[in-house]
């Protein structure tokens, strides 16, 4: 029997060339390329998870504006393993974004983008862009209320591009409004166009890794010199190189297995993101938010100064992309070790801090009004009748509470007014209410004089409680 | 040595005629490839970018009778896309904010924030439109009150005809200025 299998294998291998195809797996790599080098493979494993689960989901997903939502409800609630598959696809996307970020940071800190691997880095940068584009278009395919409004947000952003903005916006919407043409084009882009390009670029990226070899871990004081690097690298491989399979690849398999297990556990126990309401553009009580990997950008759009926002919205992503692409062209020689490149550590650290801070800000969204703020209770108002009570009620009815906090109730868009009575005089409060200012609308034309009086009475009553010892000290004075 | 010779066995037939024929065949093959790409590619691109050139349907749509709306009130009114694709489903629905200013004057606002297109909500008590996304705020006349919106809420053309309030088409207004 064994002889038969061997004969069949040899015949197939001769006719198909399987051994030849797999030969690159045994290419010689530096023996010190260990745990720091697993992120590239982890990214590819995440991509494979996405392809496999995406194909499975496509068996039931109908990319029609009128039916997609129902098919997602079916996949989530009725189809066997549907909820789990959606979860795998969602956490697989998250893993891919995280892993490609880690891969990029490691490559940058190790100076692996330098000669002769400039194009390996640049193709990786493009793959990062495609990954984020997949994340965004994937969220749109969820085709719920958030997805539909996110298409509008994307169209509005594209509209700011000089000269061709209006065309781009129409291309994204599939016309002048959300409609039947909107979803199917995103389906085609998410399922065919970008993955097709990604397959090509992943192939090119891997080919370049094989062509130039896996970079050796950097050594401080040993700069890259394009004139001598290739010779030194060959000598290193000859001296201490190891075949990638299996001497080095086992770590990739360990990390890959851990990654897939983590994705599966999250998908099983937490599940996919809940579907929002159906994508009905006539329902205006919507609060669209991007998935976590783009939440930082959502926050950025709220925090950058309005006057330069249009320029930043278009120029900043373009500049970041161009900078990333040309980094190796500008700096392809010299020290690779992070310890000799403090600016490289600073760039990565600042990027992580900036994205992390914006992400937290995006989670909290203090700039958004709190539409769910409930009327203040009598206890919070501190009165059951009279101007202070009326003012407390008006504070909710006139939507002041949507933007201001009173004892932890309300919104965070404006200042916390819990103790405003200690800070502002009656006149100052009136001026601010009537004229607005800063980021506050003027209420002079929408409030009656008696309403302003009641609001002022309420706000003046917002004072720190006097402690007993302070009270007695005041009495003594 | 001729650089075009990559296979030694072919060296024997590398006469000028053969080289000329080979160059012709190269050009012919590339030209045929280009022709095939054009035959398939031009209609393909035309098909994909067709929405760019599709004109928005110019059609006056009724929002309701004049008497349905109170003076000084702002309400949301649902409208249907006048020519939806058959599979548009509920995405053919749209909404506008309609404000009656006087007996004969109405303002129809787009529900899209001019910042990034999120749906603005009308806060009746405050007489403000507020955006949930990045905190854009507008007065009742649509002018920007606070936040990042670069311009007032978009107004649709409104007319009163046979006792009905009508607006001219519903599009997502795109802010194309930086």
Contacts of A337 (CB under 8 A, 6+ apart): A111, A218, A219, A220, A221, A222
- Which of B116, B123, B100 lies closest to A441 in space, CA to CA? B123
Residues B23 and B67 in one domain: no
Contact (Cβ atoms closer than 8 angstroms) between residue B62 and residue A250 = no
**Domain count across chain B:** 2
Question: Residue B133 and residue A310: Cβ atoms within 8 Å?
Answer: no
Distance CA B178, CA A165 (A): 10
B95 and B112 share a domain? yes
What is the extent of the structural domain holding B44?
8-53
**pLDDT value, residue B10:** 53
> Quick one: B130 and B153 in the same domain?
yes
Distance CA A336, CA A111 (A): 4
CATH of A22-364, one of 1.20.810.10, 1.20.1090.10, 2.40.160.20, 3.40.50.150: 1.20.810.10
Q: What CATH number corresponds to the domain at position B77? A: 2.102.10.10
Give exposure, A205-214, as e/b (b: 16+ Cβ within 10 Å).
beebbeebbb
**Would you call A204 helix, strand, or coil by DSSP?**
helix
For A429, which DSSP code?
A: H
Q: Which pLDDT band, with edges at 50, 70 and 90, does B5 fall under?
A: very low
Chain B residues with CB under 8 Å of A152 CB are: 112, 116-118, 172
Strand order, beta sheet including B144-146: B121-123, B128-130, B137-139, B144-146
Q: What is the ipTM of this complex?
A: 0.88
**A149: contact with B, CB 8 A cutoff:** yes
A414 to chain B: closest CA residue: B135
pLDDT value, residue B8:
54
Same domain, B47 and B113: no
- Is residue B141 situated within a structural domain? yes
- Residue in A102, A46, A351, A334 with CA at minimum distance from that of residue A218: A334
* Confidence category of residue B2, pLDDT binned at 50, 70, 90: very low
Mean pLDDT of B27-39: 97
Q: Quick check: is B22 in a domain?
A: yes
CA-CA distance, A461 to A458, in Å (whole number)?
5
Q: Within this chain, do residues B37 and B65 fall inside the same structural domain, yes or no?
A: no
Q: What is d(CA A85, CA A76) in angstroms, rounded to the nearest whole number?
A: 9
Distance from CA of A381 to the nearest CA of B (A): 19
Query: Between A148, A176, A442, which is nearest B91 by CB?
Result: A148
Q: In terms of DSSP H, where are the helices of A368-447?
A: 378-381, 386-397, 400-403, 420-423, 426-435
Task: Give the Cα-Cα-Cα angle A386, A391, A397 (nearest 5 degrees).
Answer: 130
Phi, psi of B112 (to 5 degrees): -90, 130
Comparing CA positions, the residue from A28, A43, A45 lying closest to residue A209 is A28
B84 belongs to a structural domain? yes
A208 in Cβ contact with A119 (< 8 Å): yes
Secondary structure (DSSP) of A24-60: GGG-EE-TT--GGG-HHHHHHHHHHHHHHHHHHHHTT
**Sequence-ordered list of residues with C-beta below 8 angstroms from that of B25, at least 6 positions apart, any chain:** none
Residue B98 lies in a domain: yes
Q: Could you tell me if B22 and B83 lie in one domain? A: no
Residues B130 and B43 in one domain: no
Asked if B77 and B44 sit in the same domain, the reply is no
Measure B178 CA to nearest chain A CA, in Å: 4
In a domain, B1, yes or no: no
Residue A125 Cα to chain centre, angstroms: 16
Q: Are residues B36 and B120 in the same domain?
A: no
Q: What is the pLDDT of residues B72-97, one digit of tens each?
A: 999 999 999 877 889 999 999 999 99
| Per-domain residue ranges of chain A | 22-364, 378-469
Nearest CB to A180 within list B48, B87, B149: B87
Is the Cβ pair B132, A286 closer than 8 Å?
Answer: yes
CB contact under 8 A, A156 and B117: yes
Quote the pLDDT of residue B58. Answer: 76
Contacts of A67 in chain B (CB under 8 A): 87, 89
Q: Are residues B68 and B47 in the same domain?
A: no
Pairing of strands B137-139, B144-146: antiparallel
Residues on chain A touching B125 (C-beta within 8 angstroms): 397-399
**Length of chain B (residues):** 178
CA A189 to chain centre: 19
**Chain A 296-335, residues with CB within 8 Å of chain B CB atoms:** 298, 301-302, 306, 309-311, 314
A146 near B55, Cβ under 8 Å?
Answer: no
pLDDT in tens, chain A (477 residues): 899 999 999 999 999 999 999 999 999 999 999 999 999 999 999 999 999 999 999 999 999 999 999 999 999 999 999 999 999 999 999 999 999 999 999 999 999 999 999 999 999 999 999 999 999 999 999 999 999 999 999 999 999 999 999 999 999 998 888 999 999 999 999 999 999 999 999 999 999 999 999 999 999 999 999 999 999 999 999 999 999 999 999 999 999 999 999 999 999 999 999 999 999 999 999 999 999 999 999 999 899 888 888 888 888 899 999 999 999 999 999 999 999 999 999 999 999 999 999 999 999 999 999 999 999 999 999 999 999 999 999 999 999 999 999 999 999 999 999 999 999 999 999 999 999 988 899 999 999 999 999 999 999 999 998 777 777 776 776
Q: Which residues of B53-86 are buried (b: 16+ CB within 10 A; e: fewer)?
A: eeebeeeebebeebeebeeeebbbbebebeebbe
Rounded to an integer, what distance in angstroms lies between the CA atom of residue A34 and that of residue A252? Answer: 9
Chain B nearest-CA distance from A8, in A, is: 35
Q: What are phi and psi of B21, to 5 degrees?
A: -65, -40
Element (H, E) at B145: strand B144-146
User: What value does the mean pLDDT of chain B take?
Assistant: 89
On whether residue B14 sits in a domain, the answer given is: yes
Q: Which among B124, B118, B72 is positioned nearest to A399, based on CA atoms?
A: B124
Give the integer Cα–Cα distance in Å for B92 and B20.
Answer: 62
Specify if B33 maps to a domain.
yes
Same domain, B25 and B46: yes
Q: Which of A23, A102, A88, A28 is nearest to A56 (CA)?
A: A88
In this prediction, residue B6 carries a pLDDT of 52
CA distance A401 to A411: 6
Q: Do B93 and A281 touch (CB under 8 A)?
A: yes
- Residue B51 pLDDT exceeds 80: no
Quick one: B80 and B125 in the same domain? yes
Topology adopted by domain A378-469: Cytochrome Bc1 Complex; Chain D, domain 2 (1.10.760)
**For residue B129, what are the β-bridge partners?**
B122, B138
């Amino acid at each position: 029997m064994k002889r038969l299998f061997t004969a069949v294998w040899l015949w197939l291998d001769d006719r198909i060339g399987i051994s030849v195809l797999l030969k690159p797996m045994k290419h010689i790599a530096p023996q010190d390329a260990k745990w720091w080098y697993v992120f590239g493979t982890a990214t590819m494993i995440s991509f494979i998870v996405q392809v496999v689960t995406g194909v499975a989901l496509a068996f039931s997903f109908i990319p029609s504006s009128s039916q997609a939502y129902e098919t997602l409800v079916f996949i989530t609630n009725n189809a066997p393993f549907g909820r789990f598959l959606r979860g795998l696809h969602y956490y697989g996307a998250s893993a891919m974004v995280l892993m490609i970020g880690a891969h990029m940071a490691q490559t940058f800190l190790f100076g692996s983008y330098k000669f002769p691997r400039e194009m390996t880095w640049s193709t990786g940068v493009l793959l990062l862009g495609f990954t984020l584009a997949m994340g965004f278009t994937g969220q749109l395919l969820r085709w719920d209320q958030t997805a539909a409004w996110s298409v509008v947000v994307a169209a509005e952003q594209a509209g700011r591009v000089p000269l061709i903005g209006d065309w781009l916006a129409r291309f994204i919407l599939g016309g002048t409004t959300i409609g039947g043409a909107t979803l199917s084009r995103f389906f085609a882009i998410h399922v065919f166009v970008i993955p097709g390009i990604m397959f090509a670029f992943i192939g090119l990226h891997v080919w370049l890794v094989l062509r130039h070899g896996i970079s050796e871990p950097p050594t401080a004081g040993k700069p890259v010199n394009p004139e001598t690097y290739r010779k030194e690298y060959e000598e290193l491989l000859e001296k201490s190189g190891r075949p990638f399979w299996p001497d080095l690849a086992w770590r990739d398999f360990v990390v890959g297995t851990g990654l897939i297990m983590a994705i599966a556990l999250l998908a099983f126990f937490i599940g996919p993101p809940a579907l929002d309401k159906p994508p009905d553009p006539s329902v205006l009580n919507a609060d669209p938010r991007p998935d976590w990997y783009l939440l930082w950008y959502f926050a950025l759009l709220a925090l950058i100064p309005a006057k330069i926002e249009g320029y930043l919205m278009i120029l900043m992503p373009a500049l970041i992309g161009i900078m990333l692409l040309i980094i190796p062209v500008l700096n392809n020689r010299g020290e690779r070790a992070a310890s000799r490149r403090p600016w490289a550590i600073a760039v990565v650290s600042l990027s992580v801090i900036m994205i992390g801070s914006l992400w937290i800000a995006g989670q909290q969204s203090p700039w958004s009004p709190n539409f769910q703020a409930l009327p203040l209770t009598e206890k919070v108002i501190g009165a059951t009748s009279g101007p202070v009570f009326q003012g407390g009620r008006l504070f909710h009815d006139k939507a002041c509470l949507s933007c201001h906090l009173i004892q932890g109730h309300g919104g965070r868009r404006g200042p916390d007014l819990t103790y405003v009575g200690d800070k502002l005089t009656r006149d100052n409060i009136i001026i601010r209410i009537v004229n607005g200012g800063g980021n506050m609308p003027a209420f002079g034309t929408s409030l009656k004089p008696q309403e302003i009086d009641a609001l002022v009475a309420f706000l003046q009553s917002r004072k720190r409680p006097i402690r007993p010892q302070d009270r007695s000290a005041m009495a003594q004075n | 040595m001729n650089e075009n010779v990559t296979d030694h066995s072919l060296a024997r037939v590398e006469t000028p005629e053969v080289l000329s024929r080979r160059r012709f065949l190269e050009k012919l093959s590339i030209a045929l490839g280009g022709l095939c790409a054009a035959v398939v590619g031009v209609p393909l691109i035309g098909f994909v970018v067709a929405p760019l050139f599709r004109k928005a349907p110019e059609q006056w749509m009724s929002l309701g009778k004049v008497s349905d709306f109170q003076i000084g009130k702002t309400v949301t009114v649902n409208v249907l896309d006048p020519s939806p694709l058959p599979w548009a489903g509920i995405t053919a629905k749209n909404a506008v904010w309609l404000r009656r200013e006087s007996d004969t004057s109405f303002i129809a606002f787009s529900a899209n924030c001019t910042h990034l297109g999120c749906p603005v909500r009308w806060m009746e008590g405050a007489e403000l439109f507020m955006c949930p996304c990045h905190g854009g705020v507008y007065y009742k006349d649509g002018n920007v009150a606070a936040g990042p919106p670069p311009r007032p809420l978009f107004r649709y053309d409104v007319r009163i005809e046979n006792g009905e309030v009508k607006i001219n088409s519903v599009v997502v207004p795109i802010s194309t200025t930086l």
